[in-house]
Chains A and B, each alone.
Chain A
Amino acid sequence: MESKNLLLDNSGQQLLNETKVNSYFEILLTFLNNFLKWWYIQMPIWHLRTLKRLIIVLDDNLSLSLLTRNFFLPWHRDKNLIGYIVGILSKTLYLPIAITILIIITLTYTLFLFFWLLLPPTTIIFTLRSFFV
């Protein structure tokens, strides 16, 4: 049996009544630290993941990759010349429209992400500016 003492490698087993109470300023700094981490690290990551999901949902709802994958498949699998022509033609016409919709929505969300990042400094600048201008 391996008995690696992992449980107790945190050697300084301090007693409960020996803890220090920090100053309110320190707590305020911790709060600001947490807030900034949340606003500038956690939430942007969340927004990027949401953006990725948004692209997946749009892709699915607009049938983009499905049609691209089956671009050369005839219309309703009707394997004759007309079927092939109609199939390819309809996809050629439809896909640019769908891609444009996808790009517009993606760009809108990206803009929102920028707005998110700029909101706290803009608010502070707006507030301070009124005192100096």
Chain B
Amino acid sequence: MAIDYGWQNRTILGYHSRDNNSYGVIEKELPILTKELDAMFLVTRNHYFTISTPQISNVITNSLRTAKFENTRRTISNALLIPGLIVALGYMLQFLGVLDDILILKNFFNSSIANLLFGISILSVLALWHDYYKDRSHPIRLPKTEIIPQKEYEEVKTVGFKFNHYSNLDAIKYINDDTLNLVCDNTQKNQFSIHSTFITLLNVPNIKEILKRADIQIDAGELNENKINPETLPTYPATSLRSILLYAVEEALLTESQIVRPEHLFLALTKVFPTLQKFLQANNSSLDILREIVRYNARLRKRNLATNIFNPNVAYYKKGGIAEQWIYGYTFILNHFSTNITEQIAKTRDVFGIGHDLEIEALVSILGKVNNKHALLIGEPGTGKSSLILGVAQRINRGDVPLQIKDKRIIKLDINALIAHASKPGQNMEELIAKAMNELAQAGDVILFIDEMQELMPTKAQESGHSIAGILLPYILDSKFPIVGTVNHSDYKKYFYNNESLRQTFTNIEVAEISLDDALYILETKIEILEKNFGCYITFPALISAVELAQRYIKEKKLPSSAVATIESACSWAQANQIKLLTSEHVAKAISLQKNINITPISAEESTNLMKLEENIKSKVVGQDEAILTIVDALRRARTDIRDPNKPIGTFLFMGPTGVGKTHISKVVCEEFFGEDKKMIRIDMSEYQDIKSIEKFLGSTTPEFGKSSISLIDQIKSNPYTVVLFDEIEKAHPQILDLFLQIFDEGRLTSNSGETVDFTNTIIICTSNIGSLTLLETLQQSNSLWEEAKSKALIELQHSIRPELLNRFDKVIVFQPHSLENLSKITILLLTQLSKRLGKKGYILQWSDQIPMLISDKSNIPGMGARPLKRYIQDQIEGKIAQEILEGNLKSGDEISIKDSWII
């Protein structure tokens, strides 16, 4: 799932042609209008922005005529500061009587010249102050853009613009002086040069910073390479500025900026000119990334402004003041095991509850009710349940809540601290809780927050080994003060669902996983603190990778928690490796190391290995070329990341008689792709013949204390990057086989306790012996062909397994029974393995060319595959060697030659 940055449906660009008095919507191609009779306008939900030619004309001429005057005035003002300071110093010395003996100086500082110099320099200071203010503050700010409802959007496209619905705004007023000066500097003889503007923009400090954040390095050579020259970025008549500046205004609106700055002009040029977009692509970047950085800067600017409590342009959060405690009720006992969240939040600059606006709204309205004002936040770990309550605390501090919860404080109950406090000598748990609850009821201004509320449930408390539940729960059910609790889905199902009184007392609020763009926003709020902590510079591609990879590979946690953990581990890894600039590759590397999987871009060496994968597997597996080729294709697709990320890497059904290598090939694939062969999960489906065994598959609905059976769910949770082999699936109960539909289609499986486990990073291999007899019988007939035998076996398969399941396998592969020649090759492989084992003990194993064929011929039992071969080598060869070693006939370094006589 890609990040939706939310640029869509916020603005509409339109044009008007006076030639035929027609209006239209600009959609795909962005024009630069130069004809005076054509005009462009920008529409938002409530406004429309225009720029006229006279406005452009005035800006350019004003710039030309005032630039010289302003520069001279500023130089004179600066120069006058020096005599002003000297005179001020003189006045001070005179006042102190130091100049009484130096008559010349005394007379000078008493003269009207000194007074004149001093007066003029004060006026210069005022003028410079005015300039400074004018440069850094822009009197008019852009309004916030709202999303244009789809209906209105479609209406504009089909019916046209209803101008009386919007108020007209002069776009030129929202463009700051730096941007206008930059535009004027690049307009010569009424011709506006895009190329020179772009080059000038590249040297603007803010844009340099943006490019660094985007991990884009620019030098002259690169510009030439990407064909960024006056031909691709041409010169237009100055009337084109109307379009270009409107595009810049649009960028400012989209990036939540309040005025149009040079960076918005930079974005506008990138948006309009394909050469610049290609240039970004060549640098693994995009307009989206640049926009997101500009939006981040705008948000950061607002947050930094908010630090000045005396700035009337930013919101002020009331903190209560020095006498706030006077009106609070006593909570002396409760204070020992609780924290005041509202107080804590007032001290931080962080933003909480991002992506949970609707949930916060719902919680605030529940807390404001007269009855039933308890809420239970239900969500998977890491979805931001605690952040949500902090968001409410922030709103209380801001005063943005109904009267019923104004001036209330949110107190978080720390269950562990309560248990610890109660276990102190002289403390009684029951009495302590009774007093604390009484305090809360008396105080009347508290919202009690209990994180991980399942800890209070009797069953869970028994598991955790404390006795708090039975005591606290009745108070909670009977409380007059609002309580907010959090619990995850599986615990809700286990401990809350069957408790009618609890279900009646609490109103449930589902806390869903936030979107990728909200998760990115949360990471953005952490950039400053992470950079300070880890001493590295975090680029935006790194942040975006952290969000995308966390969502894809860290399934045990949800966003935003998984993304925060990912970026933190990447920063930590970067610090350990003395990396100063954190890029997307570093994030991928950190996840690869953490998860022991390979998700970094493919290196040249790895590329060669992937190309040789087929060869490598074939060196370990004899025959079965079709199966090898199919699997190798799936693995290549997976590594190059072009597969469907919402499905398993591959789902295969291997059919064939016993001993043909179905399990062996699975092990080899696991070894080749995931690194270690021990990682393969093997499920014997003959254990799932009964429907009751579904619990073993999906985990138990009611966990029994002390019971520790490991379900498939548990195995996948602890090892989500592996080959899962379901052996002999035809033996499983059909209802269990139905579960495979969800795994194959959606790449996930929901356990009995409501947990969802992810199969998108697994290769699923099912084996079946269906049709084995048919295969063997058909092949034993002298005139039959392999294809004919295969068809018969497949027909038999279709009769045994439901078509909807069969249809969902990527490929059904029928394994051929081994020929004598193949068995001989397998013998060589097995003897080589034995030779290696003996080599470690210092013995050298040798055999003649005819030995493998002799062994395979002797051991072959038709229909039993390679298994008898293994047993034969074990019994005849290994047995003989062991005997020789025990009898002392062999010493370390001796050569062992397999004799023909050993093969009986």
Contact = CB atoms under 8 A, between A and B. Distances in A.
Interface of A: 1-8, 10, 12-17, 19-22, 24, 27-28, 30-31, 34-35, 38-39, 42, 46, 49-50, 52-54, 56-57, 60-64, 66-67, 70, 73, 75-79, 87, 90-91, 94, 119-120, 123-124, 126-127, 129-131
Interface string B216-251: 000000000000000000000011000000000000
B36 interface: yes
A63 B326 contact: yes
Given A22-B65, A38-B134, A76-B330, A131 B112 contact: yes
Interface of B: 16, 18, 21, 23, 36, 39, 41, 50, 52-54, 56-58, 60-61, 64-66, 69, 73, 111-112, 115-116, 118-120, 122-123, 126-127, 130, 133-134, 139, 159-164, 168, 190, 238-239, 309-312, 316, 318-330, 407, 442-445
Nearest to B48: A6
A38 B133 contact: yes
A4 B164 contact: yes
B330 A13 contact: no
Given A2-B164, A28-B69, A38-B130, A87 B326 contact: yes
A113 B316 CA distance: 23
27 contacts: A1-B23, A3-B163, A4-B163, A5-B21, A7-B39, A14-B53, A14-B54, A14-B57, A16-B190, A19-B57, A28-B69, A30-B66, A35-B127, A42-B139, A49-B312, A54-B310, A56-B316, A60-B318, A60-B320, A61-B322, A62-B321, A66-B323, A70-B327, A73-B327, A76-B328, A124-B119, A129-B115
Contact of B16 (A1, A8, A39): A8
A124 B118 CA distance: 10
Given A66-B324, A126-B119, 19 more contacts: A1-B159, A1-B162, A2-B160, A2-B163, A7-B39, A14-B54, A16-B57, A16-B239, A21-B65, A31-B73, A38-B130, A46-B312, A57-B310, A57-B316, A63-B321, A75-B326, A77-B444, A123-B123, A131-B116
Given A1-B159, A126-B119, A130-B116, A24 B239 contact: no
B16 A66 contact: no
Nearest to A124: B119
Contacts of A50: 310-312
Contact of A39 (B36, B130, B323): B130
B115 A130 contact: yes
Given A10-B54, A38-B130, A130 B312 contact: no
Q: Which 4 A-B pairs have the closest CB atoms?
A: A127-B119, A1-B160, A63-B321, A130-B115
Contacts of A67: 323, 326-327
Contact of B320 (A52, A54, A66): A66
A57 B312 contact: no
Nearest to B330: A76
B328 A19 contact: no
Contacts of B118: 127
B522 to A, nearest CB: 29
A5 to B, nearest CB: 8
A13 B329 CA distance: 71
Nearest to B116: A127
A61 B329 contact: no
Contact of B323 (A53, A62, A79, A130): A62
A39 B53 CA distance: 32
A3 B312 contact: no
A8 B320 contact: no
B842 to A, nearest CB: 84
B13 to A, nearest CB: 13
A76 B163 CA distance: 58
A126 B54 contact: no
Given A2-B162, A21-B64, A61-B321, A53 B312 contact: yes
Given A2-B163, A49-B312, A35 B57 contact: no
B443 A77 contact: yes
A119 B57 CA distance: 37
A86 to B, nearest CB: 10
Contacts of A2: 160-164
Contact of B123 (A8, A31, A120): A120
B329 A24 contact: no
Contacts of B66: 27, 30
Nearest to B241: A16
A2 B160 CA distance: 8
A110 to B, nearest CB: 15
A121 to B, nearest CB: 11
Contacts of B311: 50, 53
A52 B312 contact: yes
A42 to B, nearest CB: 7
Which interface residue of B16, B41, B443 has the most chain A CB atoms within 10 A? B16
B396 to A, nearest CB: 13
B326 A16 contact: no
Contacts of A13: 36, 52-54
Given A3-B21, A38-B134, A76 B326 contact: yes
Contacts of B442: 77-79
A53 B36 CA distance: 48
A77 B116 contact: no
B323 A16 contact: no
Contacts of A19: 57-58, 60-61
A37 to B, nearest CB: 10
Contacts of B318: 60
Interface centre among A14, A46, A76, A90 (most CB of B within 10 A): A76
A8 B23 CA distance: 13
B327 A127 contact: no
